[in-house]
């Protein structure tokens, strides 16, 4: 993050784009803010999460809606973790670069599948945004407004449960859009955990700074709660939640009782698109 804040280093952050995905490199109405998913896949390669699949899914779903989003190779980390760890100087350098990048694209809407990026853009970037014309939405909010246009098919029958990311729920009050999207997926049955919505339990990851035995206890307890629903998969809308839960599931003492498949919301929607 600090390397990116100083600039001068070329990034290869578009290697995940495939030929079937339609994007614009510089200008367009909708800017897809992909976040640090490509970096997470490198840093946490031992977890084999392939978080860029959620980025590909986001583009596929937007393309289905007739949207060709801007996906920029000049995007940098939003700086969320730097801000929360007290490095205000580096955070502001990233904020100014990113705001200028999106402004130059001419986009009127910024969509992101990452809850932390959403919170950063909506709240922490507010002093750097000029004019107030940019609409910032989580992907689930964007999709919830356009569900009839997606033409979704049934892709088997599955019971899932949904984990509310703190930055999406507690910080921004976005609880219903992800559930509206899940309700539109034919064959998907949502079974809520006892603590969901405003009562949802944090994944205990923080900003990579609180990974201790207390965090592990919270994660194990949350995963037990997810398993107890009988769901085949735990769905969330934040890549970091998936990383922290995947790490917890590697614990040999608890692996058998807390192991559960994890899916990103965008991936479920992309799977349900009609051919």
pLDDT attached to residue 96: 97
- Are 120 and 167 contained in the same domain? no
pLDDT attached to residue 274: 83
Q: Is the pLDDT of residue 190 over 80?
A: yes
- Are 117 and 213 contained in the same domain? no
- Are 156 and 117 contained in the same domain? no
Q: Is the pLDDT of residue 234 over 90?
A: yes
Cβ(70)–Cβ(31) below 8 Å: yes
**10 Å Cβ neighbour count for 153?**
13
- Are 9 and 136 contained in the same domain? yes
**10 Å Cβ neighbour count for 68?**
16
Residue 109: name the closest of 61, 149, 62, 76 by CA. 62
Residues 6+ apart with CB under 8 A from 185: 152, 155, 268, 269, 272
Residue 70: name the closest of 35, 23, 34, 104 by CA. 23
Cα Rg of the chain (Å, integer): 18
Cβ(81)–Cβ(46) below 8 Å: no
pLDDT band at 275 (very low <50, low <70, confident <90, very high): confident
- Are 24 and 140 contained in the same domain? yes
pLDDT attached to residue 142: 98
- Are 16 and 133 contained in the same domain? yes
pLDDT attached to residue 89: 97
- Are 132 and 164 contained in the same domain? no
pLDDT band at 255 (very low <50, low <70, confident <90, very high): confident
Residue 134: name the closest of 113, 103, 112, 104 by CA. 103
How far apart (Å, rounded) are the C-alpha atoms in residues 223 and 16?
A: 30
3-class secondary structure for the chain?
Answer: CHHHHHCCCCCCCCCCCCCCCCCECCCCCEEECCCCHHHHHHHCHHHCCCCHHHHHHHHHHHHHCCCCCECCCCCCCCCHHHHHCCCHHHHHHHHHHHHHHHHHHCCCEEEECCHHHHHHHHHHCHHHCCCCCCEEEEHHHHHHCCHHHHCECCCCCEEEEECCCCCCCCCCCCCHHHHHHHHHCCCEEECCCCCCHHHCCCCCCCCCCCCCHHHHHHHHHHHHHHHHCCCCEEEECCHHHHHHHHHHCCCCCCHHHHCCEEEEHHHHHHHCECC
Domain, as residue range, for 114: 2-144
Domain closes at, from 144, 160, 191: 144
How far apart (Å, rounded) are the C-alpha atoms in residues 113 and 57?
A: 10
- Are 114 and 185 contained in the same domain? no
- Are 122 and 196 contained in the same domain? no
Q: Could you tell me the CATH number of the domain that includes residue 238?
A: 3.40.50.1860
- Are 6 and 140 contained in the same domain? yes
- Are 29 and 138 contained in the same domain? yes
Q: In the structure encoding, which two tokens stand for residue 135, read together? A: 């609409």
In this predicted model, what pLDDT tens digit does every residue of 26-82 receive, in sequence order? 999 999 999 999 899 999 999 999 999 999 999 999 999 999 999 999 999 999 999
């Amino acid at each position: 993050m600090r390397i990116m804040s100083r600039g001068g280093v070329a990034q290869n952050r578009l290697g995940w784009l495939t030929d079937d995905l339609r994007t614009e490199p510089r200008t367009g109405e909708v800017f897809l803010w992909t976040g640090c998913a490509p970096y997470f896949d490198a840093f946490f390669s031992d977890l084999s999460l392939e978080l860029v699949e959620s980025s590909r899914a986001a583009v596929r779903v937007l393309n289905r809606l007739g949207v060709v989003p801007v996906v920029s190779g000049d995007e940098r980390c939003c700086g969320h973790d730097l801000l929360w760890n007290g490095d205000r100087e580096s955070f502001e350098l990233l904020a100014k670069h990113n705001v200028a990048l999106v402004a130059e694209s001419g986009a009127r809407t910024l969509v992101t599948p990452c809850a932390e990026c959403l919170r950063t853009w909506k709240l922490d970037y507010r002093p750097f945004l000029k004019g107030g014309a940019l609409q910032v939405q989580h992907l689930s909010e964007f999709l919830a407004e356009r569900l009839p246009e997606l033409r979704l098919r049934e892709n088997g029958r599955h019971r899932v449960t949904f984990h509310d990311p703190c930055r999406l729920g507690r910080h921004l009050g976005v609880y219903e859009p992800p559930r509206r999207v899940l309700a539109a997926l034919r064959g998907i049955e949502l079974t809520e955990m006892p603590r969901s919505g405003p009562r949802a339990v944090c994944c205990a990851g923080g900003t990579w700074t609180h990974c201790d035995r207390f965090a592990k206890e919270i994660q194990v307890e949350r995963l037990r709660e997810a398993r107890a629903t009988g769901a085949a998969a735990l769905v969330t809308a934040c890549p970091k939640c998936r990383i922290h839960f995947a790490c917890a599931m590697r614990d040999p003492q608890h692996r058998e009782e807390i192991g559960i498949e994890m899916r990103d919301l965008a991936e479920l929607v992309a799977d349900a698109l009609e051919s």
